[in-house]
Amino acid sequence: MSTKGTVKGIISNLVIVTVDGPVSQNEICYIITGQTRLMAEVIKVIGADAYVQVFESTRGLKVGSEAEFSGHMLEVALGPGLLSRNLDGLENDLDKMEGVFLRRGEYTSPLDEEKLWQFKALAKVGDTVAAADWLGQVDENFQPHKIMVPFVFQGSYTVKSIVPDGEYRINDTIAVLTDASGKDVNVTMVQRWPVKRAITAYKEKPRPFRLLETGVRIIDIANPIVEGGTGFIPGPFGTGKTVLQHAISKQAEADIVIMAACGERANEVVEIFTEFPELEDPHTGRKLMERTIIVANTSNMPVAAREASVYTAMTIAEYYRSMGLRVLLMADSTSRWAQALREMSNRLEELPGQDAFPMDLSAIISAFYGRAGYVYLNNGQTGSITFIGTVSPAGGNLKEPVTEGTKKAARCFYALEQACADRKRYPAVNPIDSYSKYIEYPEFEEYISKLISPDWIPMVNEMKTLMQRGKEVQEQINILGDDGVPLDYHLTFWKSEVVDFVILQQDAFDKVDSVCPIERQQYMLKLVTGITRMQFKFDNFTEVMDYFKRMINTLRQMNYSEFQSDDFKRFEQELEQIISERAIR
Amino acid sequence: MATKAFQKIYTKITQITKATCTLKATNVGYDELATVDGKLAQVVKIMGEDVTLQVFGGTEGLRTNAEVVFLGKAPTLRVGEQLSGRFFNAFGEPIDGGPVPEGREVEIGGPSVNPVRRMQPSELIATGIAGIDLNNTLVSGQKIPFFADPDQPYNQVMANVALRAQTDKIILGGMGLTNDDYLYFKNVFSNAGVLDHIVSFVNTTENPPVERLLIPDMALTAAEYFAVEKHEKVLVLLTDMTLYADALSIVSNRMDQIPSKDSMPGSLYSYLAKIYEKAVQFPDGGSITIIAVTTLSGGDITHAIPDNTGYITEGQLYLRRDSDVGKVIVDPFRSLSRLKQLVAGKKTREDHPQVMNAAVRLYSDAANAKTKLENGFDLSDYDERALAFAKEYSKEILAVDVNLDTTEMLDMTWKIMAKNFRVEELNIKQQLVDKYFPKN
């Protein structure tokens, strides 16, 4: 018999329930008020009192109301039909909810129980299988959606029977498995999994090394992210954080894109809802929305569900990774998630850490980033979750706990900066402070040498050194004046400006420039590196500025032209002409 | 509020703080209203039989044997057409001497709009102020605050915006308004003859500060009625949100909550978001646009209130006094409307985005020239021209007393640019130059 309880105390969405039986930490319960059932999660237990956080408004709730405990943690349903859905933080299908306003206690499943799926068996009778092994597949929006042995199954099983290929509903039994003790279990196309627990039904999680191409030069060239890698984007408001994140999600070479809009502006979520269905997938020519899932918990939706939303998104990502797919998960913004943790910690009257955040904030962030990664599945196939989170540091101060905690966990850092944004240098990513740890991995170096060329990483490092040097001489010029420094300084500065304007800056709103494939990046990097290595002849510093401004303009025109088109070649010839005017060969 | 005969009266208060009191009571709902010796109060904490009430009017003079009556409902507002043209206090009671309006009783602070039922905002709100319409165009369904120092004329600017904007209803939520400002709004609206389009909820500095907490929800509940049920374009003015946040911190302090940054409650972001996110565009034409005021102390935007606000709202408008022209202007550098690209050049003339950017860039060249001048360097001919441009641009375009339509603003900007610069210095697409550059 399941545990029941009665409400004893209420402080906003923290409710204290006196229970009549065992409860577990993070167990889900429903508090009954009138006709509605409010979902809540146990977050602390003292004696017979369970402290639960309610995922909805507690207005009108009274002491003495009944509560029913479900016996499990917060779970999501996993099965075919999740793609192209708009979900809330608890995996409710927002489109299925009635009315203009969100109604309290309304829960809608994203999975369609009546829809028929064309099932094709992958396992045979007699096969030995374990959790996450593939039994069959259905076609979900052109993605091979694997039907797997449920992740909760422990030990090995024998396939006793499996249905013939054909059309089935998600709740139809598609296989019967026999466990080690000879007991039969039915398997359907849906399974459930508690979101706060990582799905670890894979063989091995090696260091990731395969470049995840994003088409954004400042990422791919200067600070590459890999399949299964982690990165984060901190940015004060108004620096183009969202634009950058959208650009990555639209272009990255991923099979599945999951956008977790966590505590952000509703109109931005509406922008995703409006624009994504229109976007063409640059890789398949179909709609991007076909392989996208949006988990939206806007800033005015209940705060506890906001905390759950990132876990819901991660669990869905892990589910698709187990199918051998490359998943890109974007969370905007993890600061709002941390704030939700802070609000609850505050109500629990826990002793606060820095800025009133809970003491274990950094550990929670690390554990969450740790769920991303590149894995070898049991059958030798690979899958990955690349996770990029944004952080909204209070007052633009990067010394605050969420940014610092994230810095320890994430391997790539894209430092969006107000100063770059003010100068209209977009993406406003600081080229010197940003980093990618992957560039130091020998596995990555080996991979990139084969994929692109062995001189790629040396060129990237040379470019970064030049940017650093360019910044130093610029400071000296500012102090000593244009006349007060050797001519060489101007030359170095303007060479770094060429890199900045041509390689690092990119126009996210231009049809051509917004996406830059890796071959094109390689071509431009080589061209620009060639220029930065050249010697030029100048008589005074004004000549240097005028000359390089012309050169930058021509190179930018190349960026705006279709690769290797007539225009592109014409500008390239123009560039040759400019170079020959002053280069010392 | 009259008590009903069958209601239970409690008379034993066990604890009193500056903003709250606690008593033993049963069958009380969370968020429920109560009266304590006639003063309105709201349930903020229930622990077994101990019920803690936040007393809106403050607890000065409160007796331990005060009569407490629970009203069995959260704060409500009677919504209907009769709201139009009326002035109310934080509890939705008339303060203009008129009758209590009739209508359907709705709980304030209701649920959020399902994000999939929203529509992307796309309608321009013209204010006539070029610093806004040209550089930071507003869109219906947007939420945007003025970040201003307390001595700046933000209330006057806001009143102008409200009067010029083509909306069906204007709802004023005044928190901690000085009596003078309250009368100013009242006069401006009645002199303009638009009183019947306006609903006001006002808490002045003479009213207790905790009452302010109800104002935004009252104003937005009225706004939702007109936007959802009447499909009207509603503009909500909230001034001053800093005083609202201060009231939040008073209550959380009295409830012994651990303060986070700048002594604000840890849930400040959620409180502000719940208010600002009521801004919405519905597919059937109804919309709620929120223009708010957040006063700064000494221009500090890293303080928790403006900082949290900036992450929620779609941009911000800065006012600044330009000593060169002696006028208050909308600062083109620090102001931003995040939704302007949804209308600029689409609902306005095609040259809008380029002209806007070119003028702001030239204005920033003038700022550099000014620094040069202050540091004692010689000015080039270009610098001189940039300074001349800036002066004119500031006076004719940025000043808050400008009243032009967007086409006039564009023509005026072209004129000022052409007067001071050569075509090639503008960096504007040739095709637009050919069409709009003044020929003489």
In CATH, what number is assigned to the domain containing residue A63? 2.40.10.170
B36-64 pLDDT, tens digit per residue, is 999 999 999 999 999 999 999 888 999 99
Q: What's the CA gap between A309 and A303, in Å, rounded? A: 10
- The pLDDT of residue A562 is 94
Residue A421 pLDDT grade (very low, low, confident, very high; cuts 50, 70, 90): confident
Choose one of A422, A451, A480: the last residue of a domain. A451
Three-class SS state of A584: strand
- The pLDDT of residue B253 is 82
Residue B4 pLDDT grade (very low, low, confident, very high; cuts 50, 70, 90): low
Query: Same domain for A434 and A481?
Result: no
Q: What's the CA gap between B350 and B432, in Å, rounded? A: 8
Q: Report CB contact under 8 Å: B32, A60.
A: yes
pLDDT score of B377 more than 90 = no
Average pLDDT over all residues of chain A: 91
- The pLDDT of residue B5 is 52
Choose one of A451, A466, A495: the last residue of a domain. A451
Chain A to chain B Cβ contacts (< 8 Å): 166
What chain B residue is nearest to A104 in terms of C-alpha separation? Answer: B111
B104-147 pLDDT, tens digit per residue, is 999 998 888 999 999 999 999 999 999 999 999 999 999 999 99
Q: What's the CA gap between A268 and A271, in Å, rounded? A: 5
Burial of A508 (0-12, 13-18, 19+ CB in 10 A): middle
Positive or negative, the CA dihedral B210, B215, B217, B218 is positive
* CATH number, position A421: 3.40.50.300
Q: Report CB contact under 8 Å: B114, A100.
A: yes
> For chain A, what's the residue count?
585
A86 inside domain: no
Three-class SS state of B215: helix
Query: Same domain for A226 and A148?
Result: no
Residue B225 pLDDT grade (very low, low, confident, very high; cuts 50, 70, 90): very high
Q: What are the distances in angstroms from CA A430 to CA A238, A239, B302? A: 15, 11, 21
pLDDT score of B308 more than 60 = yes
Residue with tokens 């988990």: A295
Give the mean pLDDT of B369-378.
Answer: 83
C-beta of residue B121 within 8 angstroms of C-beta of residue B114: no
- The pLDDT of residue B106 is 93
Query: Same domain for A429 and A298?
Result: yes
Q: Is the preceding omega at residue B240 within 30 degrees of 0, hence cis?
A: yes
Who among B107, B277, B307 is closest to A299 (CB)? B277
- Which DSSP symbol is given to A181? T
Residue B440 pLDDT grade (very low, low, confident, very high; cuts 50, 70, 90): low
What chain B residue is nearest to A266 in terms of C-alpha separation? Answer: B115
In A, residues 13-52, which contact B (CB 8 Å cutoff)?
Answer: 16
Radius of gyration of chain A, Cα coordinates, nearest whole angstrom = 27
How high is the ipTM of this complex? Answer: 0.84
In A, residues 85-114, which contact B (CB 8 Å cutoff)?
Answer: 86, 94-95, 97, 99-104
A144-177 pLDDT, tens digit per residue, is 999 999 999 999 999 999 999 999 999 999 999 9
B32, B47, B267: which to substitute to probe chain A, counting the most A Cβ within 10 Å?
B267
**Cα end-to-end distance, chain B, whole Å:** 72
Residue with tokens 């396992």: A123
Who among A97, A101, A343 is closest to B266 (CB)? A343
- The pLDDT of residue A121 is 96
Residue with tokens 């441009």: B389
Nearest of A396, A395, A387 to residue A415 by alpha carbon: A396
Percent with pLDDT over 70 in chain A: 99
C-beta of residue A321 within 8 angstroms of C-beta of residue A327: yes
Burial of B433 (0-12, 13-18, 19+ CB in 10 A): middle
Query: Same domain for A274 and A396?
Result: yes
Query: Same domain for A426 and A532?
Result: no
A310 inside domain: yes
- The pLDDT of residue B43 is 94
Query: Same domain for A337 and A407?
Result: yes
- The pLDDT of residue A238 is 67
Token duo for residue B110: 């209701």
From start to end of B82-186, where are the E strands?
87-88, 104-107, 124-125, 138-139, 143-148, 169-177
Burial of B251 (0-12, 13-18, 19+ CB in 10 A): buried
Q: Any residues with CB less than 8 A from the CB of B157 and at least 6 apart, and which?
A: B129, B146, B319, B328, B400
* CATH number, position A179: 2.40.50.100
Enumerate domains of chain B plus CATH numbers. 9-70 (2.40.30.20), 77-98+121-341 (3.40.50.12240), 352-436 (no CATH)
Residues spanned by the domain of A536: 456-584
The pTM assigned to this predicted structure is 0.90
- The more confident residue out of A43 and A243 is A43
A96 inside domain: no
Which amino acid would we find at residue A111? L
pLDDT score of B254 more than 90 = no
B389-425 pLDDT, tens digit per residue, is 999 999 999 999 999 999 999 999 999 999 999 887 8
Percent with pLDDT over 90 in chain B: 66
Query: Same domain for A417 and A467?
Result: no
Residue A193 pLDDT grade (very low, low, confident, very high; cuts 50, 70, 90): very high
Query: Same domain for A231 and A371?
Result: yes
Choose one of A425, A451, A477: the last residue of a domain. A451
Proportion of chain B in helix, strand, coil states, percent, rounded to 5 = 35, 25, 40
What is the DSSP annotation of B250-307? HHHHHTTPPP-GGG--TTHHHHHHHHHTT-EE-TTS-EEEEEEEEE-STT-TTSHHHH
Token duo for residue B29: 């709902």
A234 inside domain: yes
pLDDT score of A239 more than 80 = no
- The pLDDT of residue B413 is 95
> For chain B, what's the residue count?
440
* CATH number, position A532: 1.10.1140.10
What chain A residue is nearest to B281 in terms of C-alpha separation? Answer: A267
- Number of compact structural domains in chain A: 4
pLDDT score of B2 more than 50 = no
- The pLDDT of residue B3 is 47
Average pLDDT over all residues of chain B: 90
A351-403 pLDDT, tens digit per residue, is 888 888 899 999 999 999 999 999 999 999 999 999 999 998 876 778 889 99
Give the mean pLDDT of B260-281.
Answer: 89
Q: What's the CA gap between B374 and B377, in Å, rounded? A: 8
Query: Same domain for A304 and A437?
Result: yes
Distance (Å) from the alpha carbon of A458 to chain B's nearest alpha carbon: 37
- The pLDDT of residue B388 is 95
B43, B53, B116: which to substitute to probe chain A, counting the most A Cβ within 10 Å?
B116
**Cα end-to-end distance, chain A, whole Å:** 87
When mean pLDDT is compared across A254-263, A476-485, A524-533, the lowest value belongs to A476-485
C-beta of residue B131 within 8 angstroms of C-beta of residue B402: yes
Query: Same domain for A275 and A339?
Result: yes
A6, A267, A347: which to substitute to probe chain B, counting the most B Cβ within 10 Å?
A267
Q: Which residues of B touch A11 (CB under 8 A)?
A: 44-47
Give the mean pLDDT of B353-378.
Answer: 87
C-beta of residue B123 within 8 angstroms of C-beta of residue B347: yes
Who among A298, A345, A355 is closest to B115 (CB)? A298
Token duo for residue A30: 């429903």
- Helices (H) and strands (E) counted in chain B, each on its own, are 11, 21
- The pLDDT of residue B70 is 94
Provide the pairing of β-strand A27-33 with A66-73: antiparallel
Token duo for residue B117: 């039922």
A435 inside domain: yes
Residue B216 pLDDT grade (very low, low, confident, very high; cuts 50, 70, 90): very high
Q: Which residues of B touch A263 (CB under 8 A)?
A: 269, 273
Q: Which residues of B touch A110 (CB under 8 A)?
A: none
Q: Report CB contact under 8 Å: B115, A296.
A: yes
A532 inside domain: yes
Residue B1 pLDDT grade (very low, low, confident, very high; cuts 50, 70, 90): very low
- The pLDDT of residue A180 is 92
- The pLDDT of residue B243 is 94
A54 inside domain: yes
What chain B residue is nearest to A333 in terms of C-alpha separation? Answer: B311
B145-172 pLDDT, tens digit per residue, is 999 999 899 999 999 998 888 899 999 9
A104 inside domain: no
Give the mean pLDDT of A479-487.
Answer: 83
Query: Same domain for A225 and A340?
Result: yes
pLDDT score of A279 more than 70 = yes
Query: Same domain for A421 and A347?
Result: yes
Token duo for residue B278: 């009521």
Q: What are the distances in angstroms from CA A232 to CA B169, B304, B384? A: 43, 23, 44
